[in-house]
Amino acid sequence: MTQTPTRPQATAQFTVPAKHPMVTVLGSGDSLLRVIERAFPSTDIHVRGNEVSATGDEREVALVQRLFAEMMLVLRTGAPMTEDAVERSIAMLKNEEQGAETETPAAVLTQNILSSRGRTIRPKTLNQKRYVDAIDKHTVVFGIGPAGTGKTYLAMAKAVQALQSKQVNRIILTRPAVEAGERLGFLPGTLYEKIDPYLRPLYDALHDMLDPDSIPRLMAAGTIEVAPLAYMRGRAQPRFTNVLTPDGWRPIGDLQVGDLVIGSNGEPTPVLGVYPQGEKDIYRVTAQDGSWTLCCGEHLWTVRTASDKRRDKPWRVLETQEMIGNLRAAHARRYELPLLTAPVCFPERDVPMDPYALGLLLGDGCLTGRTTPSFSTEDPELASALEAVLPGVEVRWKKGPDYTLSRVKAPGDVVTLENPVTRMLRALDLIGSRSHTKFIPDEYLHNSAEVRLAVLQGLLDADGGPVTQAARTCRIQYATTSILLRDDVIALVQSLGGVAYTRRRGADGRKPGRSRGRDVEHRHDAHIVDIRLPEGIEPFRLARKAEKYRAAGGGGRPMRFIDSIEPAGREEAVCIQVAAEDSLYVTQDYLLTHNTLNDAFIILDEAQNTSPEQMKMFLTRLGFDSKIVITGDITQIDLPGGTKSGLRQVREILEGVDDVHFSMLTSNDVVRHKLVGRIVDAYEQYDSRNESTPR
């Protein structure tokens, strides 16, 4: 009788640093330890204090020692270790031992994509990490795999990350509504009520990653668009370009004869005609301040050159295609665009707080709601001005630059009465805002010119100032750490007829500030906005800033020039005719013109339910500086009988095409309940048996 040779035995010890409680390493009730023991049955693992020892098969002991080392690397970053994370770590280490190309568990489990609302989104499996890395490296990425593998969720996290870092200007989310045969008109309710069931998973993911209160604002502004695939043909085309109306922005394709739009004088002007133009070659026209819009080659623009201005010639009207290749004159931009001749006239709306006071508080106020509202300034003039426009509030000096905004108590008042400032901020949904999350409420952004200017004056008196330049007129500079507030300030400036240029100053490497005798590191990037306002609009109320601005000759004349015209494909286009004498109306970024999937992160979910024609249509809508992620499960196709899946076919067509990547996920990447992975495997085995069995 031959004896089975015994494998070499070994013993290893591992010390858990004192700063890591053993419960984080072993799990509640030793749940993580039990997972490890089940994975390595030939190894005895003992724990004494913060010492872990393993005795048994030499190979398993080495893996156990490596596993604990990887767990400590993960815990050191603040990421938690769960039973699933331990199981996946063990699988990765075993695959690595067998020579498979892999990455360390710590590298996979500590790659943060997005932190939101107290939780961090990161890949949980090796294939998920490769999928996320592919999105960074490629323009078009296909994520193909069974349900529960995080295909859509991780793509959404990357989209939000790209939007927040300003890599893209908007997010477009779409999926085929195949359950209704895309004949949504037969379903009851409004368009949004009809498509809601098919887009709900996308909404749910958005709410996990963004402040729910900010999502309606982003969707109203077109920064986030959610639509079924059947409506994508229009959403990315110039017929959906925003046009300014007295009620805010509206897509040009939604306008009808008789609707009002805003003209170059800031006043409403009626639409006289709407003319579909069919498919056209589309171009992106960009101004030097970063504003841009889409139009066809025959689209008309009112422009003038430096020569026209010197000779006092009238503005000329040119087609887009006439200016292509002729945008520079001796290295200077040739074509100047007209600006608003007067501030936009929005209807006056009642507001709960004086607009100048709101601007001051958005600049230097504490709006957390946890304490009595406060205000910081080195200018007592601003404290007095704030008290003058806030009825029932007394601005009391506390110390240094700090003031508190206390309720004026009257005889008979009870202690529990709410501070008037807190009440007004609560009505504006600003309570709890911090320096990097502040914004201007819509009721102020789309209000009378007087209200908009007062808000801007408050912001500039608090956080802005004049910048003098030798032999040049004075420009205005404003700084904020809030991306929303930066964009809102730019919108205010443009609605008043000015121009604004923005740049970012990173927090890393900046010299720390000083507070109470100590250094304070910068936690958020600063956004610098350089502003020029038209003559007659006073940007400051604070005396010292206003005097410096006037002494330097004011802000000069704001100007916009066409910087580039680039092809943007062929799209359906629509033209409108307005009653304005100069035929001009305001389009996106407050550009004046006669009459995309650019700069976007686009996600097509449930792509297995697209037809080959739909898939081609979608992919050919890719614009400049955009990224597309397409997700789907080719085992769950709901298309009518006989219809091929565009997702199945596209891999044969695009496999090997440069900058296109296919990420394949499997049941091992399922991050839902463990049973989901087993169900997926069972179905795959069943399908495999049936395919091999003769009929």
- Mean pLDDT calculated for residue range 62-83: 79
Q: Domain check: are 536 and 614 in the same one? A: no
pLDDT value of position 370: 80
- 693 pLDDT more than 60: no
**346 assigned to some structural domain:** no
pLDDT value of position 513: 67
CATH number of the domain residue 27 falls in: 3.30.1370.10
Q: Domain check: are 428 and 545 in the same one? A: yes
Residue 624 in contact with residue 139, Cβ under 8 Å?
Answer: no
State how far the Cα of 233 lies from the Cα of 81, in Å rounded to an integer.
Answer: 45
Q: How crowded is residue 631: how many other Cβ atoms within 10 Å of its Cβ?
A: 28
Residue-averaged pLDDT of the chain: 81
Q: Domain check: are 99 and 154 in the same one? A: no
Q: Domain check: are 101 and 214 in the same one? A: no
Q: Domain check: are 388 and 493 in the same one? A: yes
234-276 pLDDT, tens digit per residue, is 333 367 788 999 999 998 888 888 899 999 899 999 987 776 6
pLDDT value of position 190: 46
DSSP assignment, residue 5? P
2-26 pLDDT, tens digit per residue, is 454 556 777 878 777 777 777 777 7
Residue 623, classified by CB atoms within 10 Å of its CB into exposed (0-12), middle (13-18) or buried (19+), is buried
Q: Domain check: are 373 and 314 in the same one? A: no
**Report field, pTM of the whole predicted structure over 0.85:** no
Q: Domain check: are 251 and 313 in the same one? A: yes
pLDDT value of position 303: 86
Q: How crowded is residue 223: how many other Cβ atoms within 10 Å of its Cβ?
A: 17
State how far the Cα of 647 lies from the Cα of 625, in Å rounded to an integer.
Answer: 24
Question: Please, which pLDDT band fits residue 231 given cuts at 50, 70 and 90?
Answer: very low
pLDDT value of position 497: 92
**544 assigned to some structural domain:** yes
Q: Domain check: are 440 and 476 in the same one? A: yes
Q: Find all residues with CB under 8 Å of 169, minimum gap 6, and list them.
A: 163, 223, 599, 600
Question: Please, which pLDDT band fits residue 140 given cuts at 50, 70 and 90?
Answer: very high
State how far the Cα of 377 lies from the Cα of 2, in Å rounded to an integer.
Answer: 90
**4 assigned to some structural domain:** no
pLDDT value of position 119: 72
Express as a percent the part of the chain with pLDDT over 70.
84
Residue the block writes with tokens 């201007």 = 440
Lowest mean pLDDT among 72-81, 228-237, 269-278, 674-683: 228-237
Range of the domain at 677: 130-226+599-690
512-527 pLDDT, tens digit per residue, is 766 666 776 767 888 9
Give the DSSP per-residue string, 587-631. EGGGEEE----TTEEEEE-SGGGS-HHHHHHHHTT--TT-EEEEE
CATH number of the domain residue 585 falls in: 2.170.16.10
**350 assigned to some structural domain:** no
**348 assigned to some structural domain:** no
- Mean pLDDT calculated for residue range 590-619: 78
Domain total of the chain: 4
Three-class DSSP category at 94 = helix
pLDDT value of position 345: 93
pLDDT value of position 39: 80
Q: Domain check: are 285 and 387 in the same one? A: no
- Of 496, 498, 476, the residue nearest 552 (C-alpha): 476
Question: Please, which pLDDT band fits residue 182 given cuts at 50, 70 and 90?
Answer: very low
Ramachandran assignment for 471, one of left (phi > 0), alpha (psi -120 to 50 degrees), beta (any other)? left
DSSP assignment, residue 378? S
- Mean pLDDT calculated for residue range 473-477: 84
Residue at which a domain ends, from 110, 143, 160: 110
Ramachandran assignment for 536, one of left (phi > 0), alpha (psi -120 to 50 degrees), beta (any other)? left
Residue at which a domain ends, from 593, 611, 644: 593
- Mean pLDDT calculated for residue range 661-689: 74
- 454 pLDDT more than 50: yes
Q: Please give the angle made by the CA atoms of 339, 342 and 344, to the nearest 5 degrees.
A: 95
Lowest mean pLDDT among 271-275, 305-309, 560-564: 271-275
CATH number of the domain residue 686 falls in: 3.40.50.300
**1 assigned to some structural domain:** no
pLDDT value of position 451: 95
Three-class DSSP category at 580 = coil
- Of 56, 88, 69, the residue nearest 25 (C-alpha): 69
- Of 686, 668, 691, the residue nearest 678 (C-alpha): 668
**3 assigned to some structural domain:** no
**115 assigned to some structural domain:** no
Q: Domain check: are 393 and 440 in the same one? A: yes
Q: Domain check: are 200 and 99 in the same one? A: no
| Range among 77-91, 186-200, 240-254 with highest mean pLDDT value | 240-254
Residue 320 in contact with residue 565, Cβ under 8 Å?
Answer: yes
pLDDT value of position 680: 66
- 435 pLDDT more than 60: yes
Q: Domain check: are 577 and 456 in the same one? A: no
